[in-house]
Amino acid sequence: MKRQAFIPPLLLISSILLVIFLTYLIVYRPMNEGLNDRTYENYCIVSSHKEMAIEEHISRSMEGAISLSSRTMIRNAIEDYHEGSITFTELSEYTASRYADGVEALDNIVHAARIVDDKIVSEVGKPLQNGNYEALDTFTEGTFKVTQEGEAYFIEVISPIANDQTIIGYDVVTFSMTDLIETLNEGDANLIFIEASSQTQILEDAKVLKNPTNYALVLKNEEVTYVSEGIMDSDNLFLSISIPQDVLESEIRSLTNRSLTWMIFLIVSSFILVASLSVKNVSSKLKKEQVERLYFQKRANKDALTGAYTRHYFDFWLMRFKSNFDGDMNPIAVVMTDINGFKKFNDTYGHKAGDQALKDITSIFESSIRKDDLFIRYGGDEFLFVFTQCDEALCAKIMKRIDSEIQNLHEDNDLSLAYGYAIVNDPDAIKRSIDKADKKMYNHKHHIEEYEMESN
């Protein structure tokens, strides 16, 4: 009798332990691994978005410095100085107020100096402690570097001043990036800029978690680190975003541990209820992670102001385009555009009106392309188009029509479209042809400016 009384409890305990083990194996471990994967993937997406925000800030800073260097009147004054028509003192006096007005129009400006023949023609603001103007003649095109002084971050842009392809001076312009870095550094992740040697040191002997073409996610010394490729295609400036592994996974571990405890408790009282709650809990968490992933993916692919696709999205689009390509899509037109007169429009009507103009122009672009074509905001007021089944004559016709609509967008807006295009028959040539289209666009822009000057 005692033996018979003992068997049912033993079978019950064995059944409960078996159910617990199966629940751990079938439910808990897959849920934990799934949430881990999505947590790391979301960390990569958020880090990539931070990288894009930094590159956008740098791009805007470089555009601002280049626009300052391209101001015609004070650039021509340098030519007069080199020709001996005016003295250096007269050049400085002529430049001072005009240069200050140009600097005042820029956002996040800290300091700007115009250098001619290794001498300061005009200066606005206080230079950085480690700033210097040596060896400027080694730079033939606009470049930048990121500088840190204490808790403050700055972008120093060196912008050559050119006239007929000849460099006649330089603008050294410093922009603040402190507010952006403080915003991006909120939370437990630590964002820093590193050089190539530090990137190599981080990657050395690290466990690679993810390694696509544009970043690496590694685990080293119990710290998860997102390491970017070169910022703005730089060979010696990279972004590192690190977070302790236990911090990144703490919410998951807490969630999964609580879930397991709850499951065991409910299994003892009711196996059916446990199974029902487990499936619901897993489904809810996975759905939430999916929603967050789609949200950050959209933020990365769409420009916040205009709603146009971003340069980040272009790589994904090109990969998909190549995989679906067939010969009927030829020829392919690659078009680089620039909104001519946009800087003047901004100065005249303000940045709010300028933002609205960009939105209106984007609407024109959207209504002017087919569903299989693409346009992206390449930077500032520059946009890139890719047209399929589009030869040179059709491309020119499309761009002239778009230009006409832009010119009729607002009364007296003086906005027009500068553009250049390249026709290719191989999707692998699309990216290489951007530079060619860009050069043609700047030639077109130069002709427009010459015509406007002659008209005035």
Phi-psi region of 222 (alpha: psi -120 to 50; beta: other; left: phi over 0): left
Classify the C-alpha dihedral 307-313-318-321 as positive or negative: negative
pLDDT mean across residues, the chain: 83
Q: What is the pLDDT of residue 115?
A: 94
| Alpha-carbon radius of gyration of the chain | 29
Q: What is the pLDDT of residue 109?
A: 94
Q: Token pair for residue 361?
A: 């122009």
The crossing angle, in degrees rounded to 10, of helices 29-69 and 88-104 is 140
pLDDT at residue 362 tops 80: yes
pLDDT band at 424 (very low <50, low <70, confident <90, very high): very high
Where do the domains of the chain lie, and which CATH numbers do they carry? 70-180 (3.30.450.40), 311-455 (3.30.70.270)
d(CA 351, CA 356): 9
Q: What is the mean pLDDT of residues 208-225?
A: 88
- E strand or H helix at 216, and its extent? strand 215-220
d(CA 394, CA 117): 48
| Helix, strand, coil percentages in the chain from 3-state DSSP, rounded to 5 | 55, 25, 20
For 64, 172, 174, 437, the CA distances from 125, given in Å and listed in that order, are 16, 12, 9, 38
The reply to whether the predicted model has a pTM over 0.75 is no
pLDDT at residue 88 tops 90: yes
